[in-house]
Structure 1
Amino acid sequence: MQSIYNKLAGKSEYSQSDVPDMQGRVAVVTGGTVGIGFEVAKALAFAKARVILLSRGQDNAEEAISNIKASQSASGGLVDVTWVSCDLGSLTQVRKIGDQLRKQEERLDLLFCIAGVGVNKYDVSSDGIDRHFAVNHLGHFLLTNRLLPLMRHTSTLPGAPAPRVICMSSSLHTSAPSSVRFESVDEINTDLGSMQLYARSKLANILYVKYGLIERVLDPANDRILALATHPGAVHTGQQDQFKEAYGEVPGTIMKHVVTPFMRSPDQGSLSALWAATCPEVEEHSPKWNGRYITDPGEASKESDMARDPELGANLWRLSEQIVKEKLGEDSLLPWDQSKP
């Protein structure tokens, strides 16, 4: 029983203090103002990286930056953290902000795709797409497309470690219904229920890394860029408040109080992503780690059968490109092999 609790609670020898010196490196963290994203951003800032937070809420952003600066100043250090307003559910905003960052930044070493809708009721984005799919996958799909040229440039800089894309998935991807095929917008906009909508979007995260970035985009002969999917563990964040919206006030409140005592803290939940993004071993042994699904620091786990289905991966890629082009125009995606920022 104790071993099970330790696993849930994230008892790991690895900690945020193990993040190596990131002086001179730049990281973009979506959803970086709350929960796991905040903990990732804080650890990177403490390691001297320049951190750019992407999120919707200005109040959360100001509080997050203030907390990071206050924590670090207590130990006599300075941090470089900025915030850019961006709704990952709006393709128009994502393209605008992605282009802005690509043109204004001199380098980009790390892209953390963390922003997400939790287990919540069905709703649609401003583009008319299931909001789970739109925020958790599609916005990050487009953001990566706009930022990859800058990451390719970074990979050529003298002494620069290989840039990395980290997509936060979840073990709940295993709950995606077998009916999921990623074949049409009508399918995506079918209300499967709160848990299944979330699970489908988390399945998309793994497929995107495995059969999108690794198999279609990143050429190992020419691209020194790594991509990994991660699972944070069962983490107590503000997402549990969405249970009430998903299941009703009383059932949602009961569910929240039942599950949260067994959950990891956000700082523990940040460790798999931080390890995947910063541990030198990932680059030193990239054939072993690149494209893998990291469930704890130094641990890669087997995904579900659906997450290892190349046909589903191909369907997801085609549908993602189709939706972006339908909403923003045929020229809305940069060439995936573009190297000039």
Structure 2
Amino acid sequence: MPNLEQFVDFNPEKEIPNLHGKVIFITGGTSGLGRASVIGLAKHDPAHIYFSGRNSEAAQELIREVQTEHPLVQTTFIKMDMTSLASVKKACGEFVNDRLDVLMCNAGVMFIPPGVSSDGFELHFAINHLGHAMIINELLPVLRKTAQLPNSDVRVMSLTSTAWKSHPKDGVTFSTLRTPQKGFMGALLRYGQSKLANIVYAAELARRHADSGIKFISVHPGASHTPLTTRPPLHLKLLVIIVLWLMGATFMEEDKGRLSQLWAAAGAKKEQLTNGGFYMPVGRLSDDRLDETASSPELAKNLWTYTQDVLSKF
């Protein structure tokens, strides 16, 4: 049985270059793989790391840790409620830098109880997709500006999951997105739908901004022990464990789980990245693993239209 989480050789300490002058924004940076990525990238001396989250106490602890180990790296916490698009848009206004080299869309929820956001959208879709779409939309001008600088290397990555395969039959059930989307195996379908959206939207961004010089990709980090995987109810934890066993995979610790996004953010050379590509750990272009739904131009167009229409109302 093949191990789908088999890592290729990647040593971030040796293979990530000096990031002098670079500005990075990581969503969901106060815990889990987001926090681990802040710490991992800070070791390579970027000019500034912005990170978002809800826990101010955890954010200040992370800032103290980075400042102690890497005093020349500026760190800024942006408090953000991903369940409210108005809050996300307002929070993006706190990003006050004149450049942005890496945007890592890392924040997310998995298998949370049925519900809708403050804007009335199913929660997984609202947080995992719409919230990040708003962030990308708001920060796109500075991303494009940075991409025009000499020797630029601008990247936007959306973290996804192999759970995209559990998407509904039609990919994204647009007609019920303004409901909790309850039902048999509802949590798995809701999460899968949002992770499919991450892949499809990244590919569509790449198509629509092909002339920008920005690389848009989606990245599956692998199954890791983080708050994301420890909070779901017992029956869903067991389901995840069974699925991983069938895939020949196991849970990884955060230091290993962060490798895919560190590779995508800074370890890979710009020319190694395929714009719009979907990557499995570590650095394996895996578009050939996507089904017809995930590769559908029609779904991509519909998701883009739906998303832009939602964002335009805020």
Aligned residue identity for 1:284: E
How far did residue 15 of structure 1 move? 2.6
Equivalent residues in 2 for 1:105-116, closer than 5 Å: 105-116=97-108
Q: Is the 8 A contact 2:203 2:275 kept in 1?
A: no
Show the counterpart of 1:199.
192
Show the counterpart of 2:55.
57
Equivalent residues in 2 for 1:102-251, closer than 5 Å: 104-159=96-151, 161-184=152-175, 186=177, 189-192=180-183, 193-211=186-204, 213-216=205-208, 218-220=209-211, 223-244=212-233, 251=235
Show the counterpart of 1:339.
none
CA distance in 1, matches of 2:176, 2:25: 29
CA distance in 1, matches of 2:241, 2:215: 38
Equivalent residues in 2 for 1:2-151, closer than 5 Å: 4=3, 8=5, 11-17=7-13, 18-49=15-46, 50-70=48-68, 72=69, 78-101=72-95, 104-151=96-143
CA distance in 2, matches of 1:134, 1:181: 13
Show the counterpart of 2:253.
265
Q: Deviation digits for residues 3-44 of structure 1, max 9, x if unmatched?
A: 73xx54x64421331221111100000001111111111111
CA distance in 1, matches of 2:238, 2:283: 35
Aligned residue identity for 1:207: V
Show the counterpart of 2:280.
295
Show the counterpart of 2:263.
275
Q: Is the 8 A contact 2:172 2:197 kept in 1?
A: no
* Greater mean alpha carbon deviation, residues 91-100 or residues 139-148: 91-100
How far did residue 176 of structure 1 move? 0.7
* Greater mean alpha carbon deviation, residues 146-155 or residues 119-128: 119-128
Q: Deviation digits for residues 223-279 of structure 1, max 9, x if unmatched?
A: 1111110000111111123322xx5xxx46766888799201122121111212223
How far did residue 153 of structure 1 move? 1.0
CA distance in 1, matches of 2:116, 2:159: 21
Q: Is the 8 A contact 1:243 1:255 kept in 2?
A: no
Q: Which has the higher helix share?
A: 1
CA distance in 1, matches of 2:167, 2:279: 19
CA distance in 2, matches of 1:166, 1:80: 22
Gaps of 5+ in 1: 329-341
How far did residue 177 of structure 1 move? 1.9
CA distance in 2, matches of 1:231, 1:272: 7
Count of residues in Structure 1 that have an aligned counterpart in Structure 2: 304
Aligned residue identity for 1:171: T
CA distance in 1, matches of 2:312, 2:176: 13
Aligned residue identity for 1:230: V
How far did residue 139 of structure 1 move? 0.7
Q: Is the 8 A contact 1:34 1:64 kept in 2?
A: no
How far did residue 120 of structure 1 move? 1.9
* Greater mean alpha carbon deviation, residues 314-323 or residues 140-149: 314-323
**Are the structure 2 counterparts of residues 254 and 309 from structure 1 closer, same or farther at C-alpha, using a change threshold of 3 Å?**
closer
**Are the structure 2 counterparts of residues 253 and 279 from structure 1 closer, same or farther at C-alpha, using a change threshold of 3 Å?**
closer
How far did residue 210 of structure 1 move? 0.9
How far did residue 79 of structure 1 move? 3.1
Q: Is the 8 A contact 1:31 1:37 kept in 2?
A: yes
* TM-score for the superposition, normalised by structure 2: 0.88
SS of the residue 1:206 aligns to: helix
How far did residue 123 of structure 1 move? 1.6
CA distance in 2, matches of 1:256, 1:219: 36
Aligned residue identity for 1:273: Q
Aligned residue identity for 2:10: Y
CA distance in 2, matches of 1:85, 1:140: 14
Cα RMSD (Å): 2.4
Aligned residue identity for 1:33: T
Q: Is the 8 A contact 1:111 1:164 kept in 2?
A: yes
Q: Is the 8 A contact 2:111 2:232 kept in 1?
A: yes
How far did residue 116 of structure 1 move? 0.4
CA distance in 2, matches of 1:207, 1:151: 20
How far did residue 48 of structure 1 move? 0.9
How far did residue 107 of structure 1 move? 0.6
CA distance in 2, matches of 1:279, 1:42: 15
Aligned residue identity for 2:298: E
Identity percentage of aligned residues? 32
SS of the residue 1:100 aligns to: coil
**Are the structure 2 counterparts of residues 59 and 234 from structure 1 closer, same or farther at C-alpha, using a change threshold of 3 Å?**
same
* TM-score for the superposition, normalised by structure 1: 0.81
